[in-house]
A and B are shown apart, each in its own frame.
Chain A
Amino acid sequence: QKEVEQDPGPLSVPEGAIVSLNCTYSNSAFQYFMWYRQYSRKGPELLMYTYSSGNKEDGRFTAQVDKSSKYISLFIRDSQPSDSATYLCAIPNTGNQFYFGTGTSLTVIP
């Protein structure tokens, strides 16, 4: 079993839709959870950074962590064509390494 697993997609939604992106992880000791956005031919950029359980909101983006289920989600409200990108979940482990999901490609259709 991989340390972090991510729904592969791809996802294609109409402009204005609510998007849900999800990852599961294997180790209940993980404490920090991140979401990155990656545009084509660019490096990943940090979107959301959360610690432990609960929700964190930033504009149209909400990150949710459910530690009891070892499940993390990113919600995008009122999706825009500019949100079209690949989204990666990322979790630092307890030993100086990062685990990344394989990424979900999102296309928002105008």
Chain B
Amino acid sequence: NAGVTQTPKFQVLKTGQSMTLQCAQDMNHEYMSWYRQDPGMGLRLIHYSVGAGITDQGEVPNGYNVSRSTTEDFPLRLLSAAPSQTSVYFCASSYTHNQPQHFGDGTRLSIL
């Protein structure tokens, strides 16, 4: 059972480049979310989805887009990378938002 799989594990981008962080889960969870984790700031919610075709913004959505075309996949797109987006990104999933979330092992992203 793979759980939540995030790719890539590491990425270095130049300012202005775009990229997509991939997230897939095999637990048939309806709720999926993306967080960024920065030193001293904990986990901050970027975007979330309560089911296929439904997404909404979290606390820090600017500069990021998401879509949810299937239950399994929830990619996060950086439109035009900025140094302020240097962070560790975590994807998580759960049956509903009140249930414990299962996390991937993160993507470490550096923007130069």
User: Which of A's residues lie within 8 Å of B, judged by CB?
Assistant: 6, 8, 31-32, 34, 41-46, 49, 88, 90, 92, 96-98, 100-103
* Interface size, B (range): 20 to 34
Contact check, B58 vs A44: say whether CB atoms are below 8 A apart. no
Contact check, B100 vs A42: say whether CB atoms are below 8 A apart. no
In the A-B complex, the 4 residue pairs with the smallest Cβ-Cβ separation, listed nearest first, are A43-B103, A102-B42, A100-B43, A46-B100
Nearest-neighbour CB distance to chain B for A95, whole angstroms, equals 8
Question: CB-CB < 8 A to A34: which residues of B?
Answer: 100
Q: Taking the complex as formed, is B14 at the interface, i.e. its CB lies under 8 A from any CB of chain A?
A: no
Nearest-neighbour CB distance to chain A for B18, whole angstroms, equals 25
Tell me the nearest residue of chain A to B91, going by C-beta: A43
Contact check, A102 vs B41: say whether CB atoms are below 8 A apart. yes
Q: Given A43-B90, A92-B97, does the pair A98, B103 have CB atoms closer than 8 Å?
A: no
Whole-angstrom CA separation of A98 from B103 in the bound complex: 13
User: Which of B's residues lie within 8 Å of A, judged by CB?
Assistant: 4, 31, 33, 35, 40-45, 48, 50, 56, 58-59, 90, 92, 97-98, 100-106
Whole-angstrom CA separation of A41 from B37 in the bound complex: 11
Whole-angstrom CA separation of A34 from B105 in the bound complex: 19
Question: CB-CB < 8 A to B45: which residues of A?
Answer: 97-98
Contact check, B98 vs A92: say whether CB atoms are below 8 A apart. yes
Q: Given A43-B90, A43-B106, A44-B90, does the pair A98, B101 have CB atoms closer than 8 Å?
A: yes
Question: CB-CB < 8 A to B31: which residues of A?
Answer: 96
Question: CB-CB < 8 A to B44: which residues of A?
Answer: 100
Whole-angstrom CA separation of A41 from B104 in the bound complex: 11
Contact check, B40 vs A44: say whether CB atoms are below 8 A apart. no
Question: CB-CB < 8 A to B90: which residues of A?
Answer: 43-44
